[in-house]
Structure 1
């Protein structure tokens, strides 16, 4: 340093040194302040293990439960037999006989037919009390009958679903009115034509010709037959 330089040199004051130090510190912190971001927490390896342990345990538990349920399902397969309802028609007819003034029809249909219903009902809208039975045939078709001693045209129309009359048919000396609509066929035995017990009987269903004829024959044979009492 020359004498001139020495003459020009002025030792910084304490205040200036402190100011410079603060400027230095501010410059170091400037990038962080400008970014406006807070420091991100860092997890240790042990903390990560503690956090993930419950999730892993849950996944293992769900897997074990799924295997147990699957094993139970294979051990108890669904049965191949389909349940089908089969009412005891003679028994129901015996109960109905206690309230009717005629013998309720209890036909002997093929053994592989099942009775969907066998009931004594009051049709209040028509003022008619009815004994009725419906069957599912071996070919999984339907055929049934309704019997009453209080028939009127409105009830007959309801039982035949308003099907139009297409003629008459005589079976075992009894004359039936034939009604047909689509795949359904009805035979109506009017009380005046029923020389056995004077009841009105409506037979109907979508069963094929052979099964329908079987039903008609069995029903006619059962008209007026005494129903055994339940023991």
Structure 2
């Protein structure tokens, strides 16, 4: 729509009026926006969006549900106590057997008698009392070493070990092997005879005796007093047996 103006002044006055109306419209819009923000409460959607700490809803267990849960726990505890009480008398009436461990039943005399036919001498069967328990007795043909031997192992009263080896074909190399290359550290009398004493210095020692055609070596970790008891029994067994019929190839130095 076109307006006719009689002069430029009228046209300028009309444009000024239009601009004033636009300014009033913008001002009214801003005033309404400010009023709405101020009147919005904390529970309104506009305010809740900027609230960082919203309250956490905690579940509430009803009294009946809590009572049922407690009853289940108590029932389990009662059942456990009843089960233990039922089995406890059975356990008490059947105590575990007291045992000193496995003790093999080794008949040294019987094994020695079987070995005597091939040994060429009567193997020693020392009687050192019940406190020295044999855990093996055997005849070794000496296929690898060339030295056939009679061997018996003993557990001592102090729970140590002494191994007995007897042969009629001892030699220096074999003797060093039996004594773990231990040097001669002295001698000790047992059974009325002088035994050669060797010690590795690492807790293992040996007593060596050459008598009546055979060589006997005692080696182990036991104390010398236990060695002496077994050595004394060995001498008694040697004295009761005939001399060896096979000549030894070598004997340990005294």
Q: Distance in 2 between matches of 1:39 and 1:139?
A: 73
TM-score (norm 2): 0.55
Q: CA deviation at 1:171?
A: 7.7
Q: Structure 2 residue aligned with 1:203, among 203, 214, 218?
A: 218
Report the alpha carbon displacement of residue 55 of structure 1 after superposing the two structures with TM: 3.3
For 2:167, the equivalent position in structure 1 comes to 148
Unaligned segments of structure 2, at least 5 residues: 1-35, 244-254
- Could you list the per-position Cα deviations for residues 156-196 of structure 1 after superposition, in whole angstroms to 9, with x for gaps in the alignment? 123223232245678889x765023267450232xxxx44x
For residue 208 of structure 1, give the secondary structure of its aligned residue in structure 2: helix
Larger radius of gyration: 2
Contact 2:125 2:234 in 1 (8 A): no
Superposition TM-score, scaled by structure 1 size: 0.59
How has the CA–CA distance of structure 1 residues 81 and 28 changed in structure 2, closer, same or farther, with 3 Å as cutoff? same
SS at match of 2:166: strand
CA distance in 1, matches of 2:197, 2:140: 23
Separation in structure 1 between the aligned mates of residue 141 and residue 86 of structure 2, nearest angstrom = 53
Rounded Cα–Cα distance in structure 1 between residues aligned with 2:59 and 2:190:
97
- Out of 212, 216, 219, the residue aligned to residue 234 of structure 2 is 216
The number of residues matched between the two structures is: 197
Cα distance change of structure 1 residues 207 and 99 upon mapping to structure 2, 3 Å threshold: same
Distance in 2 (CA, whole Å) between partners of 1:32 and 1:45 is 36
**Contact 2:191–2:232 under 8 Å retained in 1:** no
User: Would you say the 8 A contact 2:186–2:198 is kept in 1?
Assistant: no
Q: Distance in 2 between matches of 1:24 and 1:172?
A: 114
Distance 1:51 1:115, change over 3 A: same
The answer to which of 119-128 and 39-48 deviates more is 119-128
CA contact (8 A) 1:188 1:202 kept: yes
**Cα distance in structure 1, aligned partners of 2:188 and 2:122:** 24
Please tell me whether the aligned partners of residues 167 and 215 of structure 2 are also in contact (alpha carbons under 8 angstroms). yes
